[in-house]
């Protein structure tokens, strides 16, 4: 663990800062979740145990919402499971960074979230990819559970958490993290714009969660841009090589 942290401190302090910001935002949302659960009438142990065992913000909020609305535990569990099906694909994407051994894979699979996968896949070097996954995963898991406990213990003392605007913290931090890429990389900007348009258009006519999946259509634009750029680079390299070969042949004839 120390070696992984040292890897990011030495080679990518900016990434470590980004992970810290996401942990901070996750903690704020965790406090909100714990407080909402207890204020709605659930005992303190429910959000705490759910956070340890389920560890999935969207699924937890949905499950608690169903329970507080009078739904049964099976309906709540089914909803959470449906929302978490995307983690199966995420797990395949980061399977190579979990490390050897059943224990590492078991713990790593539990730490797979949107954020940990994003941090890991953004790194090209395998060592930094593994470090990014484990540091962000363990950091988020710890902060989330501590803050859920704090929110649950505070309970009704916090009142209506919506009045604090806590729900805006996480999207705001994520937006701040992606802004540099949107400014500096036109293909990413075009893909994000298309994804946002698709999501907004589909929100009124599709179930919750589906617009986000449909927004992945923006990746098609990004991939096409990358392929065009790669083809252009290959053509330039080929032309340069042909030119060099022609020059060498001419020099040989002159000699």
* Sequence spans of domains, the chain: 2-178, 185-255
Q: Write the DSSP symbol of residue 108.
A: H
pLDDT of residue 49: 93
CB 149 within 8 A of CB 170: no
- pLDDT at position 37, please? 87
> How many C-beta atoms surround the C-beta of residue 136 within 10 A?
27
Q: What is the enclosing helix (H) or strand (E) of 28?
A: helix 13-39
The mean pLDDT of 135-156, rounded to a whole number, is 91
- Tokens 């003392």 label which residue? 157
Residue 4 has pLDDT above 90, yes or no: no
- Is-contact 133 162, C-beta < 8 A? no
Question: What digits encode the pLDDT tens for the residues 88-142?
Answer: 777 877 888 887 788 888 888 899 988 888 888 888 788 888 888 999 999 999 9
At residue 145, the pLDDT reads 96
Number of Cβ atoms within 10 Å of the Cβ of 54: 16
Cα(214)–Cα(156) distance, rounded to whole angstroms? Answer: 38
Question: Is-contact 15 132, C-beta < 8 A?
Answer: yes
Q: What are phi and psi of 152, to 5 degrees?
A: -65, -40
Per residue in 203-252, pLDDT tens? Answer: 888 876 677 777 777 777 666 765 655 555 554 555 445 555 544 554 55
Q: Rounded to the nearest 10 degrees, how much is the dihedral formed by the CA atoms of 47, 50, 56, 61? A: -40
CA-based angle 183:215:202, to the nearest 5? 125
- Give the pLDDT confidence score for residue 237 in this predicted structure: 52
Q: How far apart are CA 185 and CA 229, in angstroms?
A: 12
The answer to whether residues 38 and 159 touch, using CB atoms and an 8 Å cutoff, is no
CA-based R_g, the chain, Å? 23
**Which of these ranges, 36-40, 64-68, 78-82, 175-179, has the smallest mean pLDDT?**
175-179
Helix (H, G, I), strand (E, B) or coil at 87: helix
DSSP state of 185: -
Please give the pLDDT value at position 39: 83
Residue with tokens 């363990």: 138
Q: Which of 145, 173, 134 is nearest to 17 (CA)?
A: 173
First-last CA distance in the chain: 63
In this predicted model, which residue has the larger pLDDT, 35 or 11?
35
pLDDT at 189: 80
Model-wide pTM > 0.75: no
Q: What is the DSSP code (8-state) at residue 206?
A: S
């Amino acid at each position: 663990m120390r070696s992984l942290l040292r890897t990011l401190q030495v080679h990518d302090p900016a990434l470590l800062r980004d992970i810290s910001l996401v942990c901070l935002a996750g903690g704020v949302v965790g406090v909100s979740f714990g407080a909402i659960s207890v204020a709605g009438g659930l005992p303190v142990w429910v959000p705490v145990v759910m956070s340890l065992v389920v560890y999935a913000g969207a699924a937890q909020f949905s499950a608690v919402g169903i329970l507080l609305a009078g739904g049964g535990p099976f309906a709540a569990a089914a909803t959470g499971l449906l929302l978490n099906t995307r983690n199966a694909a995420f797990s395949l994407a980061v399977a190579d960074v979990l490390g050897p051994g059943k224990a590492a894979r078991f713990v790593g699979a539990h730490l797979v979230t949107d954020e940990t996968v994003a941090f890991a896949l953004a790194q090209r070097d395998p060592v930094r990819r593994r470090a990014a996954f484990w540091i962000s995963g363990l950091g988020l898991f710890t902060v989330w559970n501590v803050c859920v406990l704090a929110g649950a213990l505070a309970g009704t003392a916090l009142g209506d958490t919506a009045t604090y605007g806590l729900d805006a913290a996480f999207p705001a931090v994520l937006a701040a993290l992606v802004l540099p890429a949107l400014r500096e990389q036109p293909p990413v900007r075009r893909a994000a714009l298309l994804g946002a348009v698709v999501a907004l258009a589909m929100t009124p006519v599709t179930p919750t969660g589906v617009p986000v999946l449909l927004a992945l259509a923006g990746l098609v634009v990004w991939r096409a841009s990358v392929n065009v750029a790669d083809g252009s680079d290959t053509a330039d390299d080929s032309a340069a090589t042909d030119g060099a070969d022609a020059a060498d042949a001419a020099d040989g004839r002159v000699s």
